[in-house]
Amino acid sequence: MILELPLLVFLVMTAAGAILAKDLISAVFILGTYSFTLALVWALLGAVDVAFVEAVVGAGLATVFFLLTLSTASEKDTQIRRSAIPWTALIGLPIVAILLLYGAADLPAFGDPGSPASTHISPIYLEGSVAQTKTPNVVTAILMDYRSLDTLIETVVIFTAGIACALIYGKGSA
């Protein structure tokens, strides 16, 4: 509880920094910081697997991909020139924010055992994982066994992304 507030403040600060940074390379590094802070928040909330993925993909691989893309761009393309903020955004975005906060007030409390997400099918997974699959990590059991078809399609998506990149960039990948 003590750590949560500074982490959230730092999260908002890094997000704003990534948007407001003058050149794109600084923005990429600040975005990596943002992902790493977000990973710490996930770990604090108990979602260790999500934190792991966020740290490795968000702070690691995505940063490398961004930097590789920027390294081939010329210097005038990585500098950002900003125009004035349109007044529609100044009025519209606060309204959307208020609506979202109003909707968020109706969400079940964090860790509520009576919330729909905890009562429908997750008890079956939690109780059956060790007995049915000998896998103590329930997240892995759900991803790879109970919902393995979804994971298969996700793998197809990743494969397609690699193929598309290789096709777009021509003779890059063998």
**Which residues here bind another protein, judged by CB under 8 A?**
48-49, 51-53, 56-57, 60-61, 64-65, 68-69, 71-72, 131-137, 139-141, 143-145, 148-149, 151-152, 155-156, 158-159, 161-163, 165-166, 168-174
HEC profile for 127-149?
Answer: HHHHHHHCCCCHHHHHHHHHCHH
Output the smallest distance, CB 38 to another protein, in A.
15
Q: How far is the CB of 125 from another protein (least distance, A)?
A: 13
Q: How far apart are CA 174 and CA 89, in angstroms?
A: 45
What is the smallest separation between the CB atom of 41 and another protein, expressed in angstroms?
Answer: 15
* Closer by beta carbon to another protein, 5 or else 68: 68
Contact (CB, 8 A) for 4 and 44:
yes
Helix or strand (DSSP H, E) at 3: none
Closest separation between CB of residue 6 and another protein, Å?
24
Whichever of 81 and 134 has its CB closer to another protein, that residue is 134
Q: Supply 104's token pair.
A: 């968020």
User: Which of 26/135 has CB closer to another protein?
Assistant: 135
- Shortest Å, Cβ 89 to another protein: 32
Output 17 or 128, the one with its CB closest to another protein: 128
Q: Which residue pairs from 73-82 have beta carbons closer than 8 angstroms and sit at least 24 positions apart in sequence?
A: 78/23, 78/24, 78/25, 79/22, 79/23, 79/24, 80/21, 80/22, 80/23, 80/24, 80/27
